[in-house]
Chains A and B, each alone.
Chain A
Amino acid sequence: MADDVFKALADPTRRAILDELRERDGQTLFELCGRLAMRHGSSASRQAISQHLAVLEAAGLVRTRREGRYKFHDFDPAPLEHLLDRWLGDDGDDGSAVAPDGRD
């Protein structure tokens, strides 16, 4: 799971998606594409953004929910907290502590 999170964060467009979702949760693909184009100068296509969202979702950083006929995307910071606990947590483990496993 940690590998998925690092991979998801390694791309600037995906980090920008998280920036925008942090500002407002519950965005459609259309709104996200507009924000990325107008605020981040992104030239990525809608399809490309959709694929970036799938990577973020696989890493647990974005959740997609259906509300009626619409699909909204929310930011979920939980995987980041797990990651940082590995090095910044105060549980006294040595560096070989197991990374957070498959849970979210």
Chain B
Amino acid sequence: MKIVVTNVFVDDQAAALEFYTEKLGFEVSADVPVGEDRWLTVRSPEQPGGPDLLLEPSGHPAVGPYKRALVADGIPDLSLAVDDVRGEYERLTGLGVKFTQEPTEMGPVTTAVLDDTCGNLIQLAQHHEAAAA
């Protein structure tokens, strides 16, 4: 068994595509019309074999309240591994990205949390052992 696709619910697929590609640096993996929406996935250039991240529409009525409650408490939907969390923090704030948590050392990991502008928070995590290896 392996993880091939995971998802985030995004308020606006076009805005999400722009954010995840132009700000975060992912590449489009699939973009197929499905009814009024799209099957829209992105992938990290550092992981050519996947997994894919599905930028899924937030239309279901349960999604809005769920997302709002998580965002209010600062809880991220997704965690991304980075080599240099402070460097990413500087780079992304320079691009206008808003963080709800600045880089903070939490034992073996330094984390930061950003807003994807589509109703989700995303954690960046730098594992210190991995960086030293």
Contact = CB atoms under 8 A, between A and B. Distances in A.
Interface of A: 24, 27-31, 34-35, 37-39, 46, 50, 69-71
Interface stretch (B21-29, B49-57, B67-75): B67-75
Label chain A's interface by main secondary structure.
helix
B107 interface: yes
Contact of B74 (A24, A29, A37, A39): A29
B106 interface: yes
A31 B68 contact: no
Contact of B106 (A29, A34, A71): A34
Given A30-B76, A30-B101, A71-B72, A39 B113 contact: no
Which one of B71, B75, B100, B107 has the highest number of Cβ atoms from chain A below 10 Å of its Cβ?
Answer: B100
Interface string B99-110: 011101011010
Contacts of A24: 102, 104
Contacts of B41: none
